[in-house]
Chains A and B, each alone.
Chain A
Amino acid sequence: MSTIRVLVGTRKGAFVFTSDGARKNWDVAGPFFAGWEIYHVKGSPADPNRLYASQSSGWFGQMIQRSDDGGKTWNPVGNTFAYDGETGTHQWYDGTQHPWEFKRVWHLEPSLSDPETVYAGVEDAALFRTTDGGQSWHEMKGLRTHESGPRWSPGAGGMGLHTMLIDPGNPHRMYIAISAAGAFRTDDGAATWKPINKGLKSQYIPDPNAEVGHCVHRIAFHRSRPDVLYMQKHWDIMRSDNAGDTWYEVSGNLPTDFGFVIDVHAHEPETVFVVPIKSDSEHFPLDGKLCVYRSKTGGNDWEAMTNGLPQRDCYVNVLREAMAVDALDPCGVYFGTTGGQVYASADGGESWAAIVRDLPAVLSVEVQTLP
C-alpha cells in the first residue's frame, strides 16, 4: 500500500506527517529546526528520501537543510547565495532604484531527474541552482538580468521568486513567478526568460498591458498538459492554454477572486482547487467560513467544498505555498493555514479533516506519494 508523506514548513519549524493510503491516521514528526522559519520543504522526484528545506531567521540568515532518509535526520548544506556579477537595481517602494539584496530562499524545486540538482527561488528575486546536493549554489543570472529587472518591485511581503514549474516533457522549459513582477518562462534551460503576463489585468497599474508589475500569487499545471496554466493572481483566477503567451480570466462564480493557493487534481487536468480569501486588507475567508472551491471545468464554474471545514468564526489565511495534491486515486488534497491547521481530503475535496490543528502558522505544504 502506498505511503503519503506531507512536508510542512511553518513560522517556527518543519513537520513531517505520514500515513498509509487510507489517509485517515497520521503520524506527526517534528518540529525540526524548532524556532526557525521554514519557508519550504520539498522532496526529490528522483529520490523521494532526498528532501531539501529552506530554514531562515531574521537573526541568523539563511540555512539549507538536506535529508537523505525521508526527513528522519537532517544536515546543513551550503548557504551562500551570491548574485553573479553586477548586482544591479530594481524599483523600490518610493519609485527609486534599489540594489538587489539577498534575504532568503522562498522556494526549492528539485530536478525531476537528478536528486543532486535543485533550483532555489530567492528574495530579492533571482534563480539559483545546485548540482552537488546543495553544497554550492550558483545564480542563473539570465532571469535577474532581464531587461525588465529595473522595473520589478517588491510586494508587501518582499520581492520573492515563489513559484517554479518544470515542464516534465521538456527540461529546458520552466515557469516561475515573482511578487510583484509577474510570471516568466524559459525555453532554453534558464539562460533567457520571457515575461508571460499578457491578458493579466491589475487594478491601479497605470498601464493595464504592462509587461511586468503584476502580483502573481501562484501558478499550477497538470503534468500531462504543461502548456495549460492556472494562476491565482492578486485578483482573478487566470488560465493560459498556450504556455503563458496569453491569459484569460476564469474566476467565474467565485465569491471573491482574491487568494493565494491554486492547484490541479492529480488525475483530472480540468479540476482545479482554490481557497478564496477576502481582499484587500483583511486576508481571511469570507464571512468566517473556510471554503475550498473546486472547478471541474478548468475554471469559471466553481463549487464550494465545505464538508469538514469550519463554517463560522474562521479567520485564517492560506498562503501561496500551502496547498498540494497527492497522486493516489481518489486524489488527496492538502492545505495549511496561518492558524496552524493542516487539512486533508482523501476524496478530491468532497470532505475534509484536520491532520493537526495547532501548529505555528503554516508557510508551505508539499506531498510525496511513496510506493
Chain B
Amino acid sequence: MIRVAIPFHLRTLAGVAGDVELEIEGVATIHTVVDALEARFPALKGTIRDPVTRKRRPLLRFYACSEDLSHEPMDAPLPDAVLRGAETLIILGAIAGG
C-alpha cells in the first residue's frame, strides 16, 4: 500500500479529505502511482502530468523521505519506506503565484 498526499485543489477535484492509499501492482514508481491515482479518480487525469507529454507539471513537486524526487526519473522505483507504507509520497504544489 502506498500513501499519497495530494494538494488541496486536487483533493477537492477527487472528492477526498486527506491522504490517498493506493495498491500498486508491480514496481511502484511515480508514473505507476499517478496512473493509479488517475484510474481511481478520473477527475485528476492530466492535472499532475501533462496528458500529452506525461511530463510532471512544472509547478508540482514530488517529495518522500525528506528527499526531493522531482528530478528523478518518473519510472524509478520509489524509496523502500514509501513502498512499505511507512512514509508518504507527497505531491506538492509550488508555493507561488497569486
Binding stretch for chain B, among A59-67, A112-120, A294-302: A59-67
**A79 interface neighbour in B9, B46, B59, B93, Cβ under 8 Å:** B46
Tell me if A45 counts as interface (CB < 8 A to partner B): no
Q: Give B13 Cβ to nearest chain A Cβ, in Å.
A: 7
Interface residues of A in 293-318 (CB under 8 A from B): none
Consensus secondary structure, chain B interface: loop
**B13 interface neighbour in A58, A76, A82, Cβ under 8 Å:** A76
Find out whether the CB atom of B9 lies under 8 angstroms from the CB atom of A36. Answer: yes
Q: Give B7 Cβ to nearest chain A Cβ, in Å.
A: 7
Binding stretch for chain A, among B18-26, B50-58, B62-70, B73-81: B50-58
Write the chain A residue with the least CB distance to B52: A82
- Contact A62 B46, CB 8 Å, known A79-B51, A80-B52, A82-B52: yes
Tell me if A57 counts as interface (CB < 8 A to partner B): yes
CB-CB < 8 A to B9: which residues of A? 35-36, 57, 59-60
- Contact A59 B52, CB 8 Å, known A36-B9, A76-B13, A79-B46: no
Tell me if A17 counts as interface (CB < 8 A to partner B): no
Q: Give A216 Cβ to nearest chain B Cβ, in Å.
A: 28
- Contact A60 B97, CB 8 Å, known A35-B9, A80-B52, A82-B52: no
| Docked CA distance A59–B57 (Å) | 7
Find out whether the CB atom of A58 lies under 8 angstroms from the CB atom of B97. Answer: yes
- Contact A60 B57, CB 8 Å, known A35-B9, A79-B45, A79-B46: yes
- Contact A58 B46, CB 8 Å, known A79-B51, A80-B51, A82-B52: no
| Docked CA distance A76–B51 (Å) | 15
Q: Give A88 Cβ to nearest chain B Cβ, in Å.
A: 15
CB-CB < 8 A to A35: which residues of B? 9
Find out whether the CB atom of A58 lies under 8 angstroms from the CB atom of B59. Answer: yes
Interface string of B22-52 (1 = CB under 8 A from A): 0000000000000000000011011110111
CB-CB < 8 A to A26: which residues of B? none
| Docked CA distance A79–B42 (Å) | 11
| Docked CA distance A60–B43 (Å) | 11
CB-CB < 8 A to B42: which residues of A? 76
CB-CB < 8 A to B51: which residues of A? 61, 79-80, 82
Find out whether the CB atom of A59 lies under 8 angstroms from the CB atom of B60. Answer: yes
Q: Give B47 Cβ to nearest chain A Cβ, in Å.
A: 4
Interface string of A65-84 (1 = CB under 8 A from B): 00000000000100111100
Tell me if B82 counts as interface (CB < 8 A to partner A): no
Find out whether the CB atom of A59 lies under 8 angstroms from the CB atom of B7. Answer: yes
CB-CB < 8 A to B57: which residues of A? 59-61
Find out whether the CB atom of A61 lies under 8 angstroms from the CB atom of B47. Answer: yes
Interface residues of B in 1-19 (CB under 8 A from A): 7, 9-10, 13
Tell me if A248 counts as interface (CB < 8 A to partner B): no
5 closest residue pairs by CB, A with B? A60-B47, A80-B51, A59-B59, A76-B43, A59-B93
Question: Which residues does B use to contact A, with CB under 8 Å?
Answer: 7, 9-10, 13, 42-43, 45-48, 50-52, 57, 59-60, 93-94, 97
Q: Give 13 new A-B contacts, CB below 8 A, not counting A59-B97, A76-B43, A79-B45.
A: A35-B9, A58-B59, A59-B59, A59-B60, A60-B48, A60-B57, A62-B46, A63-B13, A76-B13, A79-B51, A81-B52, A82-B51, A102-B52
Question: Which residues does A use to contact B, with CB under 8 Å?
Answer: 35-36, 57-63, 76, 79-82, 102
